[in-house]
Amino acid sequence: MPLQSTLSGRSSGSTRALDTQSDGKSFEQLRHECLQNGVLFEDPDFPATDSSLFFSQSVPVQIEWKRPKELCENPRFIVGDANRTDICQGQLGDCWLLAAIASLTLKKDALARVVPHDQDFDHRYAGIFHFQFWHHNQWLDVVVDDRLPSVRNQLIMLHSASNNEFWSALLEKAYAKLHGSYESLKGGSTMEAMEDFTGGVGEMYDTKSAPDNLFRIMKKALDRGSMMGCSINISSSAESEAKTTTGLVKGHAYSITGLEEVNYRGQTVQLIRVRNPWGQVEWNGPWSDNSREWNYVDRAEKTRILQNSTEDGEFWMEFEDFKRNYDKVEICNMTPDSLTDDTKRHWEVSMFEGNWIRGSTAGGCRNYIDTFWTNPQFRLELEDADDEDDVCSVVIALMQKNRRKLRKEGMDLETIGFAVYESPNDEDHQGKDFFRYHASKARSRTYINMREVSERFTLPPGKYLLVPTTFQPHHEANFLIRIFSEKKAGALEMGSNVDADLPDPPMPSAPEEETDEEKGLRRLFEQLAGADKAISVRELQQMLNGVLSRRKEIKFDGLSLSTCHSIINLMDVSFHSLLSDSFQASGFRMSIKFTLLFFLPTQLELFFLDAVNQVDNTGKLEFQEFKVFWEKMKKWIMLFLSFDTDRSGKMSSYELRIALKAAGMHLNNQLLQLVGLRFADANYDIDFDDYLTCIVRLENMFRAFQAMDKFQRGRVKMNIMQFLMLSMNV
Ligand code: CA
Ligand code: CA
């Protein structure tokens, strides 16, 4: 559901994390219950079975789920400190997660949120633990039981170097639960986990094409509490985790834990400290643990910076060597709510949720100009420039939601990206021509199949239009957009208003002034109508099919009875008077103004007659009404034909927005998505009958609503009777 919530300037730091257990109970409740009943918690939401481990492969060895007390003498949640040596990789290819956990241990306040310290193996122990993760702009509290997968009494997944410390293994389990299984954690970027631990927004730098001041950017980021990771690219999967002669591991996620400048033989040298989450295998080049460069550094400096030179996975290297050897740097910028220190600068955040749905809003990138414009569009207003600058810094991050969880169902990441245009002044959803004739001002560097695409821009103050897309059209996903700006920015979704500007239909011509077409129609009408001079639904169907079959440019299988029923309701007074009867029945007094609003002018007369005679209309259409309808119909046919450019008798469902707009009705993305799902076929086309049903029903409902909403407040009150009358009759 497209939903806007602008969180600018509001810190959600104090908001409580959402309990996620399916029975709705909190960690405290569950632990209390277990303690009272004298049992250890067994999590029904993430059972100790193979399905929690893998979804695509069978379990390779005999795995036993064991509780820490079955694995060692004196288990502890945290031994000493929760620090980066507590994170040793297990059987899973989730080094990206481990590198993020390692970075997290360096930020005590962030760590305390993810790993609440109110738990241990002491008197309150009940086999249950909990952790908190940021998930789609919401902090979630995830509980786990402490049964951990093991083989021969050894933990096979993430574990601590000390064999009686369990916080890191349990954290991995909770994160696996959040994503559906341990296997779901295979492969990822450090950034992803960093964001989930902090709610921050990631930025990526390619070291080979990085800005000259990358060291400064990184140093500043580290000082501002950002988390950072780095990695070496691989060109094939065979290269994954291959070791270089200098001791570095390819395709492996490292964390960055320090940046320093030292005086070396009279020169300033920039150094960076990197950590291998394996807790071993280190760089062996210049400035590594026991390299001779350190002998030329002032002893106090050396002690302060080097700290120790043990084989712990952590090492220093010269920044130039770092850039030569590593390819990618990931920085996770903190949101205000993850920064506790008020003196630190922080970002203003705006946020939107939305989705790409086949047949309505899954428009694809600019290469697909016919559908590109149908993507959700957002306006961003950058009013104030950064301090000491005349441009606005903004980081735009587009995230696709829930993909890791959907992998189980065979769905992988979509290829996503976005473009930024200068925005026109109106708040309308922009059409094809706007994008045909305007070039983008900025865009994501590439379209890529990652969970999140983010990019930093500096833009002059002004109004911008942001269009998030999948690369190809018709690909579905839910997304979250976060816009981080130095100064507060306004943001809104384009075309989010739902309204209708429906003109009163023209008065039907007097019988003596009828055109030849109308005279022809009258003859046909009278043949069908018989003595009562009105046609029923079936007769209308017969009549319209007869007339339309002569229009060679419309190819279709005939109008359905249901469409004709809606047409009768649109034109016929009975539908409206039934509705108004129920208003009277419920004690609603109709004012004259109300009745005037409620009925089409041509029907007023009939209404008053009917009101006197007590409505007995059974849903027939008289010729005067039919004439009014026929005028509408001609306009709708013209609209349909203008979108059915290949004369296939169908129009693209993506074009429905324009067709409805031309008919005076504005729908937002959510409604267009619904209509698309309901009426479009497998090729995202709508045939003439469905098109007509859709347009007639919408006009019916808009008119009914506008009549009931007599003070134009945008809302109406209905009782069950009225509601059912409307929904069954439309
Ligand atoms: Ca520890
Ligand atoms: Ca070391």
Sheet with 227-231, side-by-side order of all strands: 201-206, 328-333, 227-231, 254-264, 267-275, 314-318
Top pLDDT among 528 and 409 is at: 528
- The pLDDT score that the predictor gives to residue 622 is 86
Confidence band, pLDDT 50/70/90 cuts, at residue 548: confident
C-alpha–C-alpha distance, residues 524 and 540, integer Å: 11
H or E element: which one contains 419? Answer: strand 416-422
Confidence of residue 594 (pLDDT cuts 50, 70, 90): very low
- Average pLDDT, rounded, for the chain: 84
Sheet holding 392-400, edge to edge: 3-5, 348-356, 477-485, 392-400, 452-459
Q: What homologous superfamily is domain 511-729 in, according to CATH?
A: EF-hand (1.10.238.10)
Q: Any catalytic annotation for residue 276?
A: yes
| pLDDT tens digit sequence for 24-70 | 999 999 999 999 999 999 999 999 999 899 888 777 778 899 999 99
Q: Which residues of 280-415 form beta strands (DSSP E)?
A: 314-318, 328-333, 348-356, 378-382, 392-400
| 271, 316 contact by CB (below 8 A) | yes
The predicted-structure confidence for 62-108, as pLDDT tens digits, reads as follows 889 999 999 999 999 999 888 767 888 787 778 888 888 887 887 78
Residue 388: predicted pLDDT: 66
User: Is residue 560 predicted with pLDDT exceeding 50?
Assistant: yes
What's residue 238's pLDDT?
A: 78
C-alpha 274 – ligand 2 centre gap (Å): 9
What whole-number distance in Å separates Cα of residue 548 and Cα of residue 657?
Answer: 24
pLDDT one-digit tens code per residue, 410-454: 778 899 999 999 999 888 899 999 999 999 999 998 899 989 999
More confident residue, 647 or 642: 642
Q: Report the alpha-carbon distance of residue 495 to residue 360 in Å, rounded.
A: 14
Q: What percent of the chain has pLDDT over 90?
A: 39
CA 591 to chain CA mean position, Å: 46
Domains 201-333 and 511-729 in one fold = no
Contacts of the segment 677-683: beta carbons below 8 A, 24+ positions apart: 677/357, 677/359, 677/360, 679/653, 680/358, 680/359, 680/360, 680/653, 681/650, 683/650
The pLDDT tens digits of the residues spanning 679-716 come to: 999 989 998 999 999 999 998 888 888 888 888 888 88
Question: 207 by DSSP, 3-state: which?
Answer: helix
Q: What is the CA radius of gyration of the chain?
A: 33
Residue 345 CB neighbours (<10 A): 10
The mean per-residue pLDDT over the stretch 258-272 comes to 95
Q: Answer yes or no: are the C-beta atoms of 373 and 434 closer than 8 Å.
A: yes
644 vs 421, more confident: 421
Distance 264 CA to ligand 2 centre (A): 20
Tell me which ligand sits closest to the C-alpha of residue 273.
2
Ligand lying closest to the C-alpha of residue 85: 1
Considering the candidates 135, 159, 252, 666, report the single residue annotated as catalytic.
252
User: Is-catalytic flag, 88?
Assistant: no
pLDDT at position 132 over 60:
yes
Cα 460 from Cα 440, distance rounded (Å)? 14
163 contacts 295 by C-beta, under 8 angstroms: no
pLDDT of residue 145: 97
Quote the ligand 1 centre to 82 CA distance (angstroms). 4
What residue spans define the domains of the chain?
A: 9-186, 201-333, 348-496, 511-729
Which listed ligand is nearest to 288 at the C-alpha? Answer: 2
* Cβ atoms of residues 540 and 521 within 8 Å: no
Among 159, 276, 564, 565, the one annotated catalytic: 276
Per residue, the 3-state secondary structure of 30-77, as one string, reads HHHHHHHHCCCCCCCCCCCCHHHHCCCCCCCCCCEEECHHHHCCCCEC
CA of 107 from ligand 1 middle (Å) equals 14
Domain 201-333 belongs to what topology?
A: Cathepsin B; Chain A (3.90.70)
Alpha carbon of 282 to ligand 2 centroid (Å): 7
Q: Which of 95, 230, 365, 392 is catalytic?
A: 95
pLDDT at 16: 81
Which CATH topology does 348-496 take?
Answer: Jelly Rolls (2.60.120)
Closest ligand to residue 166's CA: 1
- Binned at pLDDT 50, 70 and 90, residue 600 comes out as very low
Distance 81 CA to ligand 1 centre (A): 4
474 part of the active site: no
